[in-house]
Homo-oligomer: A and B are copies of this chain.
Amino acid sequence: MMSLRVHTRVGCVRPLPGAERMAIGTFGSTSRAAAEAVESLPGVAEVVPVSRPFKLASREVIPEDTVVHVGPVPLGGASALAVIAGPCSIESRDQILATARAVRAAGATALRGGAFKPRSSPYSFQGHGEEGLRMLRAGADQHGLKLISEVMDASQIQLMDKYVDMYQLGARNMQNYTLLREMGKVRKPILLKRGISATLEEWLLSAEYLLAGGNTQVILCERGIRTFETYTRNTMDISAIPVLKKLTHLPVFADPSHGIGKRDQVAAMARASIAAGADGLLIEVHCDPDKAWSDGAQSLFPGQFDRLMAELRIIAPAIGRSICTEPAVRSGW
């Protein structure tokens, strides 16, 4: 056992425990001479330069898959594929209870629903706030589901922490660095969505803000990028899934609802995401989509969601995975 003191400009030295040996990350460009000096110390196996601008998020630094735990249920790595489902906005107690019942029956492991809504127009519905979170918590608890909801600003963290099991950080806030820095201090899992025109490198650098802040429970979620196409709302970048799985150890989810934006095509994109290697899905399901206050056109009917889950159970084994089918309540969530 030894103690190692390192001076770097940014003052950031981080222990990265692995299965077989302990890595210690330092930042800033270091001369080859300095690297050799460290390498010659007793107990130091090797000094590995990291070529990517993202460090803690890269497989170069952490080769093994990160497994994120939401309560007792693992996400990522070799875990069963997990499906998080629910409405875009929390509208009413009845809407949440009916949707929670339906998605749990079909095999979902967590409930989604927005209480704070980022809207392009200041005149659109902006969400029910705390009252919505209370409804969502009740719906999740009643059906043995965990829950996720979107945080839009650091000022909401204290309030939300009483209700959520997992935070969503939305596409429009992917480069809100103040929020990223605050969320790095939180000790609950974060699902980080990709910005609508972000490159993979920019996205991983945003994840790096969370990891550098101390929160290692980060999931990346592809949700469609902006292209020239007008027949779809966005163009879901399925290719991001295998590329990310190579670049990073973080779990990769996919949101086919925002990814394509049309109900009829959501199932096809969900199947494609799983076939491409995603660790899980985030899907909009509504007990009565035609009356939804937002995103109705891309929300599945409960029956459609049920059929999709059946299709996914057939595809998953083709890539050596399975779908979490145990009712969440039994597994102790």
Contact = CB atoms under 8 A, between A and B. Distances in A.
Given A172-B175, A246-B264, A228 B229 contact: no
- Which of A178, A226, A238, A314 counts the most B-chain CB atoms under 10 A from its CB? A238
Interface string A240-281: 111100110000000000011010110011011111110000
Given A122-B209, A243-B265, A199 B228 contact: yes
A271 B319 CA distance: 9
A262 B242 CA distance: 11
Contacts of A177: 118-119, 122, 152, 172
The quantity of this chain's copies bound in the complex is 4
A304 B265 CA distance: 30
Interface stretch (A139-147, A200-208, A282-290): A200-208
Interface of A: 10, 12, 27-28, 53-55, 118-123, 152-155, 172-173, 175-181, 196-197, 199-202, 205, 208-209, 212-213, 225-232, 235-243, 246-247, 259-260, 262, 264-265, 268-269, 271-277, 311, 314-315, 317-319
Given A119-B177, A172-B176, A315-B318, A231 B10 contact: no
Given A178-B155, A209-B122, A315-B275, A239 B225 contact: no
A314 B275 CA distance: 11
Contacts of A12: 123
A180 to B, nearest CB: 8
Contact of A229 (B205, B237, B268): B237
Contact of A318 (B180, B232, B314): B314
Contacts of A243: 231-232, 260, 262, 265
A241 B318 CA distance: 21
A177 B179 CA distance: 12
Given A12-B123, A200-B229, A239 B269 contact: yes
A231 B123 contact: no
Given A121-B208, A269-B239, A271-B319, A227 B227 contact: yes
Nearest to A126: B177
Given A235-B239, A260-B239, A318-B314, A205 B121 contact: yes
